[in-house]
A and B are shown apart, each in its own frame.
Chain A
Amino acid sequence: MSENLRELISAAKTAFEQASDLDQFKSARLSHLGDKSPIALANRELSQLAPTDRAARGQEINSVKSEIAAMAQSREEELTRERDERILIEERVDVTLPTRVSQRGGLHPLTLLRDDICDLFVGLGYEVAEGPELESEWLNFDALNIPADHPARTMQDTFFIEPLTTKLVLRTHTSPVQVRTMLDRKPPIYVICPGRTFRSDELDATHTPVFNQVEGLVIDEHITMAHLKGTLDHFATAMFGEGINTRLRPSFFPFTEPSAEVDIRCFVCRGESKECRTCKGEGWVEWGGCGMVNPKVLIACGIDINRNSGFAFGMGLERTLMFRHGITDMREIVEGDVRFTAQFGVGR
């Protein structure tokens, strides 16, 4: 190879290396590979050579040219990469700037809990039954074996609607939904009844005149109290975590017989602390009520008691929510302070 062609390579190499950005590089490439570059001129001069020399010279020029082109390409890639990296650095922002400038939404924690419970029972094959808040006395009381003179039917406990001849009350529990369900369909019945209920209590840390309940009702052949206990254990574990089961204590409700109070294993101390303030050292916390549906109720609803038996249970949603989230004052749930609800966020 001739000396001058070799110099073209080193000159191009130097020029490319000296180009510190893509603009400089482009002019360097033009000078060393463009139409007016020495290599281009050398190529054009080929025609002036004797045909015998032409082939060899041509080969030389082509090889020099592709060597320069390769150098150019590699330098260009290098400079492009440098430029891209620089841009990325320059475009850096403070990603910690506050980005949520819109109003923040969220479901009420009672709604989240109600939906959770409904999903749990739908998974067990139940359906969700609902009914009106303004309800007939017969459905709210009589059909549930709470006769007209029962203390629960006094003005101290129940909101009555004027005139009293309408026999309308604000339902004191969601049990009238159970009655409606039994009147509307035939066994097998597996329903969960969430809803708002009313008792004429003043608002304080543990009472509210407007509250939410969730009740379950099962009517089928051969339903036993063991099924009730199993369902409650499953429910408690789903609500409060592994190891939290239930305890039944004999009790009295007009609409069930046998009846029981439902306690759950203390979710704070798990029954292992005598000093526990949540369960007062008893290891159990009262959660709700339950029992086998009183045959009198089944008869009033036309269920064949020789064929079917059933169980029912009921819990306060507020109380369940307090247990789950460590809320100590029921007023926080009902006062509608957006800061309270916002803690539960959208979804969870």
Chain B
Amino acid sequence: MKVPLSWVREFVPLPESLTPSEIVERLVALGFEVEGVQDFRDEIQGPIQVAQVLEIEEITGQKKPIRYVKVAASDERFVICGAQNFSVGDFVVLALPGSVLPGNFAISARETYGKTSNGMICSARELGMGEDHSGIIVLDPTQVKESIARGADAIELLTLNDVVLDIAVNPDRGYAMSIRGIARELALAFDLPFTDPINLAPNLPLTDNPGVTTPKLEAGADFIVLRSIENINVTAPTPLRMVRRLQMAGMRSISLAVDITNYIMLEFGQPLHAFDKAKIAGALRVRRAGTTKNLVTLDGNDHPLNENDLLIADDNGALALAGTMGGLQSEVTSETRSITIEAAHFFPMDVAKNARAHKLSTEASRRFERGVDPQLPLAASARAIALLTELAGGSYLGGKSDGAPATLEPIPIHPGYVSELIGGEYSHDVVQRSLEKIGAEVNSERAEWVVTPPSWRPDLSMKADLVEEVARIEGYEKIPSTLPPSPLSRGLTPLQKRRRRIAQFLADRGLLEVQNYPFISPETIELMGFKGARARTYKIANPISEREPLLRPHMVPGLIDAAVRNMGRGAKSMALFEIGSVFRAPETIPPPPELGTEQRPTPEEIAALYASVPDQMLVVGILLAGDAQADSWLGKARAYGWHDAIALAQEIIELTGNVGTVHRSDFTPWHPGRCAEVRVGDFAAAHVGELHPRIIAHYGLPPRSSALMLNFGALPIVGPTRVRPLSNMVPTIQDIALVVPTDCEVAEIIKALYQGGGELLERVELFDRYTGKPLAQSEISYAFTLTFRAPDRTLTAEEAGALRDSAVAATASLGARLRG
């Protein structure tokens, strides 16, 4: 809302000594963000005067017609002028030498066309009053009356020295989208008297004369007033001062009738619409569109209508989109002789829906959406008729209304509640005065007061609303600063601690955390080879990018994207991880229960509500690409491989207090021969390994790039570790080499060794691996160190030997034999 201060001053006597920044400061403290201040006083400098044209000499022989004009301002002088739209006797605006016009345009006497020009006759654009540059401003003496005199200060006359505040109004404060509302706020801010602008409206009775348009409310509004006027001269000019104010408020002057409705909307906050009365067939109805097909609005757009759109219609069809925009067909034109002014109180939701459905956010719809004072239609329409009569002639035919303005519910409140909720001291006196300042009626006879909000404050419906008003008017800066009592906390949950430990562990291991957008394209899912349940995810109805409408069902594609992006910026090797949610949709999503908000849902409803939100896996994803260690003076580079990824998977699982076992797997997007599943019990906690060569090639990743995704959120929470006593006995070490078929998995051999070695076999470590002569092609040899230890004694050589033999024997079923 752009607010010229001169307009506000008509209703609240702001002292001239108040600076714009002081006013802004108070508005901000009252909850109005001021997004800009335009101080025209900085942009224009006099002397700029009203001048009367005395003589005109046409200078010919130039490229364009030029006039040499004798004018009378505070003195008589000659000026050169290129405009033609004035004649002798007209009053014009003259910038005298020494004056400065907007755009830092300094006026001085100058020689031109062989004459001396002692000033400049100004167009509206030259004065910063809008875009009109078709001719100079000709003042209409009937409009500005006594202020027009030779030599009068035109800066004052045309309010070229105004200050305009651009005020952001929160959605609950519709009343402030008007000069009326802002003036009221400034009056209470500076403790000044406030004159309500609606006093400007004459008391114009609604009389049902023949020819008066009849309103009929059928939906979407509770009050409507129509007033009709006939025999008007619609081509009469809009007073300059009105044009200027509209322009400062960010609106264009269109025609007198439209300008008047806009002016009153800005001043009162009540949107009005002027219909060409002759074009209304029968009664004017506020109704749903129903089967009405379409409406061409004032901007020329043809809108197909939805069944529930709220219309203003006559017997022939739609006339306007209620509270949003008028229709082209019933618009006031230069042919119009009679007008019907419509002033209604439309319901905010209906106008909001209209505006949204047709993408028409207008000055009117923005006000109705936020709530307009339902008491305004009578006064606003009366003022419109008065201004039309005054400026366009015509005679008032009469008016009719339908419905009645709604009244607001009184709110019971104990005055002490303000102090109780805010935590400061607010005396009964302060509470009463604050509420009265905003226009509320306070009945403080009983201990529990009854506060009736003013008609323009539909946002006030409960005691907390009143508390905010008192606190706001007293100033939020008066709210004390104290800490609440310290409650009992159990600190982070085990899962939260787990997440932190994993992240810190990976960072310490040289991995860098990224946070990718969780969006993915169907093409990527296809490329990754995800199928069935692993590909079933959610589709966003309105994605940012049509290319990526899906939620990620997996962490690895995003990590690959991040790696590719970084490689594009010069990175060669990357170890990345991300912790977050991945999304896999169940085959059917349970429908949500229908829930109100008037009371707590039942336990069954809460259970159904939670069940309607499918589980989202909390996972860690890792991508290892390129070198773990670069070439350096210490030696050659070491590239990341599948084994690094598997090691990380196991270590992460160990961090959670669980034990992971590695099993061969064959899952996309991994290399079919280099993919493992790491299980905790029977639960597949992670898939991990080298990425499929096809995917590595597609993205241009470093060869052998490896990845993992681990569902750590689903791993069991393990309680505190139970410690076992440590043995101080000397361990007995036994090295063995086993020859096995090449397709025998080491994990199986180690498992067998542990089984065979029994409880005294403390550790099995693989320290060598050998193929080649003298082994057969189908054979491989693994060398292990077995560490035996008893808790209570040092094992004898015989005992250790027997244990070793028993361990080896257990591997026989895998086809293993001791190597010579």
Q: Which of A's residues lie within 8 Å of B, judged by CB?
A: 97-98, 101-108, 110-111, 115, 118, 122, 124-128, 130, 132-139, 142-143, 145, 149, 151, 154-155, 159-162, 164-168, 170, 183, 188, 190, 196, 200, 202, 209-210, 218, 220, 222-227, 229-231, 233-234, 245, 247-252, 257-260, 292, 294-296, 299-302, 309, 334-339, 341-342, 346-347
Contacts and interface: CB of A to CB of B under 8 A. Distances in A.
Nearest first, the 7 closest Cβ-Cβ pairs linking A and B are A302-B600, A224-B423, A250-B31, A226-B423, A258-B468, A252-B170, A103-B510
A346 B489 CA distance: 28
B29 A249 contact: yes
24 contacts: A97-B633, A101-B629, A103-B573, A105-B509, A108-B514, A111-B579, A127-B489, A127-B490, A130-B496, A132-B613, A132-B616, A137-B592, A149-B352, A160-B541, A166-B591, A220-B484, A227-B482, A229-B480, A233-B481, A249-B29, A250-B31, A292-B467, A336-B514, A337-B565
Of B421, B424, B538, most A-chain CB atoms within 10 Å = B421
B726 to A, nearest CB: 32
B467 A258 contact: yes
Interface string B475-494: 01101111111111111110
Given A105-B511, A223-B484, A338 B599 contact: no
Interface in B609-641: 609, 612-616, 627-630, 632-634
Q: How large is the interface on B (under 10, 10 to 19, 20 to 34, 35 or more residues)?
A: 35 or more
A183 B483 contact: no
A249 B515 contact: no
A143 B596 CA distance: 8
Nearest to B566: A338
Contacts of A252: 31, 170-173
Contacts of B614: 134
B620 to A, nearest CB: 12
Interface of B: 28-31, 33, 170-173, 349, 352-353, 356, 369, 420-424, 462, 464-465, 467-468, 471-472, 476-477, 479-493, 496, 500, 503-504, 506-518, 538-544, 551, 562, 565-566, 569, 571, 573-576, 579-581, 583, 589, 591-592, 595, 597-601, 606, 609, 612-616, 627-630, 632-634
Contacts of B597: 142-143, 145, 296, 299-300
B549 to A, nearest CB: 9
A247 B479 CA distance: 10
B514 A168 contact: no
A160 B613 contact: no
A111 B476 contact: no
A136 B612 CA distance: 7
A294 B421 CA distance: 12
A241 to B, nearest CB: 17
Given A161-B538, A162-B540, 6 more contacts: A103-B573, A139-B613, A142-B597, A160-B541, A210-B518, A257-B462
Given A111-B503, A250-B31, A341-B512, A170 B540 contact: yes
Contact of B476 (A135, A139, A248): A248
A337 B574 CA distance: 11
A127 B482 contact: no
A127 B491 contact: yes
B579 to A, nearest CB: 8
Q: Which of A125, A142, A220 has the most CB of B within 10 A?
A: A125
B132 to A, nearest CB: 33
Given A134-B614, A229-B481, A247-B477, A106 B422 contact: no
B492 A128 contact: yes
Contacts of A125: 486-489
B486 A108 contact: no
Given A134-B583, A149-B353, A335-B565, A227 B606 contact: no
Task: Tell me what chain B mostly uses at the interface: helix, strand, loop, or mixed.
Answer: loop
A260 B476 contact: yes
A263 B765 CA distance: 61
Contacts of A165: 591
Nearest to B492: A128
Given A103-B511, A248-B476, A338-B566, A218 B464 contact: no
Nearest to B614: A134
A54 B160 CA distance: 134
Contact of B487 (A110, A126, A159): A126
A251 B579 CA distance: 35
A166 B611 CA distance: 11
Max chain A Cβ within 10 angstroms of own Cβ: one of B511, B513, B600, B601? B513
A234 B483 contact: yes
Nearest to A260: B476
Contacts of B479: 225-226, 229, 248
B507 A105 contact: yes
A77 B613 CA distance: 81
Contacts of B542: 155, 159-160, 200
Nearest to B575: A103
A342 B312 CA distance: 62
Contact of B551 (A134, A143, A160): A134
Given A111-B503, A125-B489, A226 B515 contact: no
Nearest to A157: B542
A209 B517 contact: yes
B497 to A, nearest CB: 10
Contact of A336 (B481, B566, B589): B566
B480 to A, nearest CB: 4
A126 B566 contact: no
A258 B628 contact: no
Contacts of A190: 484, 487, 489
Given A229-B481, A231-B483, A292 B421 contact: yes
Contact of B540 (A104, A130, A161, A202): A161
A136 B592 contact: yes
A105 B513 CA distance: 8
A200 B517 CA distance: 12
Contact of A251 (B170, B569, B613): B170
A300 B613 contact: no
B581 A133 contact: yes
Nearest to A190: B487
Contacts of B518: 133, 210
Nearest to A110: B515
